[in-house]
């Protein structure tokens, strides 16, 4: 009987691993802290098998260093790290999570580090035997856009889940939509993403992701998880980041998270729970506004309203605490 139980558990474990969807994360991690939370969320999601982290915009080496250290803390050095298109090094004052990686050398990462992230993305998708790959984009995406422009056929193997746009609601639940950073920071890249022949496109705009955070008992449970190296690292980064960012008042970091925009994109890649979706045809202005437009060139499945935000907040807390 004991052998039978052990065999059943092994079979179940193998099934979970085999059924997990290969996933690539395109991220501007170490700018806003929500990318760090989203990477932890992804690593704690058994439905997703993270294969590659592609760092986007600005100082891609710095961003890759933060991602690599977090992966090493999580004992996930099987995940490849790829440096995207680089626009030059940041000043120390712009490295908002810099103190956390001050003594971490990217060259010591036990896993694979690709200097050419665009080619690494193309090669992974082309060579993967998987019939379907999730691509989760949680930042401006010039490298991802370059990849699907150079090799548009690879998009046909992938489902895109993006944290982009603002249709009916703006930042912080404001009833007026506004250009959203991941779009306006690189409008040509976003347009290229939307024009690529993905198997499907699903977006979370500010309408949903702009009101997502953890507070109260949920946040306290994460804050108190001192025996969990991954969550401890997330909180360490949050405590470093919060006093250093110039664009918002984060003196609340002992009480709640900042807005966790990117966790909604991760959720969408494995679950349709908690959110109401709408198929929207739209255009993109030169200023980065995503505009409902029946004659627009783009169409996506859009997470437009919450069914039950508190239920997702509790779900995410419990998922992060699974170790």
- CATH at 20: 3.90.245.10
Q: Measured between alpha carbons, how far is 275 from 207 in angstroms, rounded to an integer?
A: 11
Beta bridge mates, 309: none
Q: Measured between alpha carbons, how far is 163 from 140 in angstroms, rounded to an integer?
A: 9
The most distant pair of C-alpha atoms in the chain lies apart, rounded to whole Å, by: 66
Q: What is the mean pLDDT of residues 63-91?
A: 94
The predicted-structure confidence for 234-255, as pLDDT tens digits, reads as follows: 999 999 999 888 776 666 677 8
Q: What is the mean pLDDT of residues 158-174?
A: 96
Could you tell me if 56 and 169 are in contact, meaning their C-beta atoms sit under 8 angstroms apart?
no
Could you tell me if 114 and 120 are in contact, meaning their C-beta atoms sit under 8 angstroms apart?
yes
The predicted-structure confidence for 270-304, as pLDDT tens digits, reads as follows: 999 999 999 999 999 999 999 999 999 999 999 99
Count of domains for the chain: 1
pLDDT of residue 229: 98
Beta bridge mates, 15: none
| Site of tokens 């999570």 | 97
- pLDDT, averaged across the chain: 92
| Site of tokens 């009833």 | 175
Beta bridge mates, 49: 22
pLDDT of residue 249: 66
Could you tell me if 167 and 179 are in contact, meaning their C-beta atoms sit under 8 angstroms apart?
no
- pTM, rounded to two decimals: 0.93
- Domain encompassing residue 131: 2-321
pLDDT interval class at 15 (50, 70, 90):
very low
Q: Measured between alpha carbons, how far is 27 from 44 in angstroms, rounded to an integer?
A: 17
| Site of tokens 């200097």 | 115
pLDDT interval class at 18 (50, 70, 90):
low
């Amino acid at each position: 009987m004991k052998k039978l139980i052990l065999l059943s558990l092994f079979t179940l474990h193998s099934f979970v691993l085999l059924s997990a969807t290969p996933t690539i994360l395109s991220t501007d991690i170490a700018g806003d802290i929500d990318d760090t939370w989203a990477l932890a969320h992804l690593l704690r999601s058994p439905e997703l098998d993270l294969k590659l982290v592609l760092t986007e915009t600005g100082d891609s080496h710095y961003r890759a260093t933060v991602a690599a250290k977090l992966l090493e803390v999580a004992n996930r050095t099987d995940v490849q790290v790829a440096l995207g298109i680089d626009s030059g090094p940041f000043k120390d004052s712009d490295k908002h999570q810099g103190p956390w990686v001050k003594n971490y050398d990217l060259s010591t990462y036990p896993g694979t580090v690709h200097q050419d992230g665009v080619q690494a993305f193309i090669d992974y998708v082309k060579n993967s035997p998987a019939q379907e790959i999730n691509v989760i984009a949680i930042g401006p995406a010039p490298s991802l856009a370059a990849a699907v422009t150079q090799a548009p056929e690879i998009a046909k193997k992938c489902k895109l889940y993006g944290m982009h746009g603002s249709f009916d609601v703006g930042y912080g639940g404001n009833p007026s939509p506004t250009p959203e950073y991941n779009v306006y920071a690189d409008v040509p890249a976003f347009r290229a993403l939307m024009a690529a022949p993905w198997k499907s496109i699903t977006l979370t705009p500010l309408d949903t992701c702009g009101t997502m955070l953890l507070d109260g008992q949920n946040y306290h449970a994460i804050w108190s998880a001192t025996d969990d190296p991954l969550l401890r690292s997330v909180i360490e980064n949050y405590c470093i980041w919060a006093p250093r960012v110039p664009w918002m008042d984060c003196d609340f970091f002992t009480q709640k998270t900042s807005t966790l925009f990117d966790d909604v994109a991760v959720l969408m890649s494995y679950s349709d729970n908690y959110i109401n979706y709408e198929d929207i045809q739209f255009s993109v202005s030169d200023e980065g506004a995503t505009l409902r437009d029946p004659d627009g060139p783009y169409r996506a499945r859009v997470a437009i309203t919450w069914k039950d935000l508190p239920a997702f907040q509790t779900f995410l807390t419990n998922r992060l605490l699974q170790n």
